[in-house]
Amino acid sequence: MQKERSQVTGMSCAACSAAVERSVKKLEGLQTVQVNLLRNTMDVEYDSSVLSSEAIVAAVEQAGYGATLQGDKTAPQPTSSAAEDSREKQKAIRIRLAVSFGFLLPLFYISMGHMMGWPLPHFFHGTQNALMLAFTQMLLCLPIWYVNRKYFIGGFGSLFRGNPNMDSLIALGSSAAMVYGIWAIYHIGWGLGHGDLAMVEHYRMDLYFEASGMILTLITVGKLMEERSKGHTSDALSRLMDLSPPTANVLRGGVEQTLPAAQVVVGDIVVVRPGQSVPVDGIVCKGSSWVDESAITGESVPVEKTEGDTVTSATLNTAGYLEIRAIRVGSDTTLSQIIQLVEDAGASKAPIARLADRISGVFVPIVLSIALLATVAWLLAGKDLGFAISCGIAVLVVSCPCALGLATPTAIMVGTGRGAEQGILFRSAEVLENTRQIDTVVLDKTGTITEGKPRVTDLVPATGVGSDQLIALAAALEQPSEHPLG
């Protein structure tokens, strides 16, 4: 069985990830597929004699999304690049928000300021200026629609493909308000031209342009919060990756060379001096030292290493000179496996997350049906078109399933990321969910829940010995000692 990971683009909600999974699951030879919305990744396991990676990518594209193969799932992923990508996305979203709020605030002032008793310019006053008021609101809304056009492109695209998603609800709700506003402008113009001032006054108060702009702006605020959650988790994994040095001092042909850690191969002799981190898993073939393994084992006291002892990547050489024969490098090192474990746990789905995904998968079509039903029901009840449409828009907007699709994966990613920072590793999201049943924690090492930094707390001299004398004797004994505790 072949395992691969792909980067998926274009997803915005749980309905999107469900559509990708449905499309890929139809392929013959596929064993498992798991799409992670927050990471925008897809992990697949398939029979390579029956199915190809190109066919999997094609299935994703057929569903209306993009996919880029990252390679073997077990290879270390460029978490630092993911963090940088998240920061770039946050920057772009902030620009969209700045533009959106810049035009939304005057739009709200013009459309709703009179309700608060705020003064409006004289050219907006009265029924005769209703057309000026309506056109101004529409013009203020245009930049908001433009900078947030991705919701319309993605939402209507998914709707036309038969896989409506959260963007479809946003696009429909905002578009319905926008179209009704344009419809109202037509009636205002018709009323002014035919002297029907009652019609003008009616549509002047029900333009809904501010509702269209507000929908897009508030949803974008949610997108920024979502992207920040991704960034925090990527930063936590980046800090784990930073434990391993980027370069290594390697002896080849009797000459010491400084190489990128990725170029070290099994069998190379790696030189590690005091204060340097170990870049590989290996065996000490020359020298002796005390090695700080707290980053990996949690053991606060450095461990003595001599010829024949094993050392682990990301541990710190605190004292002597070491030559180490590499036995595991790159993605095979202990640190890389830990990082992979954390990433897999963050990408996996807890039972409650799978339940949320099943609900989200059918949620959007149900909401669309309810919105249509609400609109028709109010029309049949004798209400005018504007009131009926406003009810349908309200259903679409309040039903966006952002929290439903994102709450569980966000909690899992942040939980596993924070755990990794504190030295706690979860094998899967299911394990994380089951921690609620824990009633006893057993610790076998010092320094696990303490600071891990021994210090003198009390001085109790024997009878006849002064405190100063005791300190002087202890200092004299400690000075030539190489033991970490003195």
| pLDDT tens, position by position, 80-119 | 556 677 778 889 999 999 999 999 999 988 888 777 777 8
Average pLDDT over residues 221-241: 70
pLDDT at 74: 43
Band of pLDDT at residue 231, cut at 50, 70 and 90: low
The pLDDT mean for the chain works out to: 82
Interval 27-81: pLDDT, tens? 999 998 988 776 788 989 999 889 998 999 999 998 889 998 875 444 444 455 5
pLDDT at 76: 44
Average pLDDT over residues 377-394: 85
pLDDT at 356: 60
Amino acid type, 344: D
Which of 41-50, 100-109, 201-210, 259-268 comes out lowest in average pLDDT? 201-210
Decide if pLDDT at 205 tops 70: yes
Average pLDDT over residues 443-461: 72
Report phi then psi at 240, rounded to 5. -65, -45
Catalytic residue among 439, 444, 458, 468: 444
CA distance 396 to 251: 66
Decide if pLDDT at 402 tops 60: no
CA distance 184 to 203: 5
Band of pLDDT at residue 199, cut at 50, 70 and 90: confident
Domain ranges, ordered by start, for the chain: 2-75, 81-239+386-416, 247-332, 456-486
Residue 232: CB atoms within 10 Å? 16
pTM tops 0.85, yes or no:
no
Decide if pLDDT at 138 tops 90: yes
Band of pLDDT at residue 215, cut at 50, 70 and 90: confident
Interval 146-188: pLDDT, tens? 999 988 998 888 888 887 777 887 888 888 888 888 988 998 9
pLDDT at 436: 86
Average pLDDT over residues 476-480: 79
Decide if pLDDT at 280 tops 70: yes
Decide if pLDDT at 385 tops 90: no
Interval 281-324: pLDDT, tens? 999 999 999 999 887 776 777 889 999 999 999 899 998 999 99
pLDDT at 448: 62
Report phi then psi at 283, rounded to 5. -120, 135
Q: Which two tokens stand for residue 430?
A: 């299911």
* Architecture per CATH, 2-75: 2-Layer Sandwich (3.30)
List the beta bridge partners of residue 248.
Answer: 259
Q: Which fold has domain 247-332?
A: 2.70.150
| Catalytic-residue membership of 344 | no
Band of pLDDT at residue 232, cut at 50, 70 and 90: low
CA distance 62 to 161: 9
Band of pLDDT at residue 141, cut at 50, 70 and 90: very high
